[in-house]
Amino acid sequence: MRYARAGNWPVVLGYALFTGMMAVGYWYNVTFVQLGLTDLGERRLGLPGARVAGLMALLALLTCGVALAAGLWLQRGGRATRLRLKLRLALGVVVLQTGLTLLAPRVASEAAFIGWIAACALALGVGVPVTFSLTTDLIPVGDRGYVAAAVTALAYFAAAVWTTDWRIEPLARQMLWVMVPGALALAPLALLPLPFVDELARNHRLARFAHGRFVRGGAAQPRMSRRFVGALLLMFGIYFVDSLGFLRIVATPDLIGATWQAPEALPRLMIGGVHVGTAVLAGVLYTHVGERPLFAWVLGLFALAHLMYTFPLRLGSGGTLAEPMLYATAVSLYTVLNFAIWADLSTPQTISRNAALGVALSGWTATFVSTAVAIRWQASGMAAVAHLRLVDALAVVLFVGLLLRWVLPGVGEWRAGSGERGAWRVARGEEFEGVWRDGV
């Protein structure tokens, strides 16, 4: 709001561009890619569950490889600091993904499906470092938690309330209604010499945009810190637990018939409302507290949510709204972390590499490897209650491991050092006087 009051409309437009692009992209990934492709393989093509699991794992590995290559290429030669280049690459990704979405319901063979997956991995892999690296151009450090909350709230509200049919055909139609206008809106920003884009392209040189909240002393940090590696491992575990449990939950009609796929709107609105409320709370907590308590809350809530989901299965009763609402709380917490933390562990020079590692390795790879495991377990005849017990146990192990990590010696990397506090003072406004003179 302060940028709007100050009349700095380029920054306001940058907020809108980043929030819209990331929200639509995440909505697409958690619905069309994760649920739609499973439906395409199993229902449309008649492939066995184990084969679909293998193809999802292939998508994960290809996406991760492309993302790492693209992230390192952007980092080399300072390409990660060139806003126009990133916007043009983002436009190419959106156009390719729109075409793939149009073609997906028309895939008629396994060979065509494999080709579609390869093209999708190219789009997703390039898109990860490109879009996440826009953070250092468009979003000031002090507002990243709030913007991550807005992205999370929009994406999950849309997924919970509007995406009710998980077959590939309606998913494709729904996403095209958003992606085609998005591509048309992005095209002039990427291709035309607009003055306000030139102004945004200079933002990464300003202190309030440049060095992430957890970058010590504003150093370029060509090497990864222990804090970054710790966040990478924790996010991998969180994504793995989430997808491993969620895929089995949505494959159990008794657990979703009155909640995520309820014919009436009220249950879905309540779940969407929990996503929004939790995202806002997570944005505030991330901004004022930090990431470590949120990691603990996420793992603890996932353990409790999966435990609660076993009770209806044991008792033979239908699920209630309590389970998905608790699950939505955990999901929104970690998604806010995902959209904020990689930029806050980076500089404009390292953001593309760190985003590729953080999002592609800990996010995409964990998600689709666990998706493959979940499909394989179900295909092998494992009971849903046994499946969810294993997921619950894994979440508990990660939660306890994180608590032990806090009390063991050498935990200093997870505490705010003087360099981090100095960078955070710049971002929070304690040293904003000179920045405001630059024209907030």
In angstroms, the CA 337 to CA 333 distance is: 7
Tens digit of each residue's pLDDT, the chain (440 residues): 677 777 777 888 989 999 999 999 999 998 999 889 989 999 999 998 878 888 988 898 899 899 999 999 999 888 989 999 999 999 999 999 999 999 999 999 999 999 999 999 999 999 999 999 999 999 998 899 999 999 999 999 998 888 778 899 999 999 999 999 999 999 999 999 888 888 888 888 888 888 788 887 554 555 667 788 888 888 898 888 888 888 788 777 777 766 767 778 888 899 899 999 999 999 998 888 867 778 888 888 888 887 787 777 776 666 678 888 888 888 898 899 899 999 999 889 889 999 999 888 888 778 777 877 888 888 888 888 888 888 888 888 888 887 777 766 554 444 444 334 444 444 444 333 333 334 44
The answer to whether 342 and 159 are in contact (CB under 8 A) is no
Q: What is the pLDDT of residues 147-193, one digit of tens each?
A: 999 999 999 999 888 877 889 999 999 999 999 999 999 999 999 98
How far CA 313 is from CA of 17, 241, 245, 321, in Å, comes to 44, 19, 14, 15
Predicted local confidence at residue 429, as pLDDT: 43
Please name each of the domains of the chain with its CATH number.
7-437 (1.20.1250.20)
| 117 and 254 Cβ atoms separated by less than 8 Å | no
Confidence (pLDDT) at 119: 96
Cα-based angle 82, 83, 88 (whole degrees, multiple of 5): 105
Residue-wise pLDDT for 97-116, tens only, equals: 999 999 999 999 999 999 99
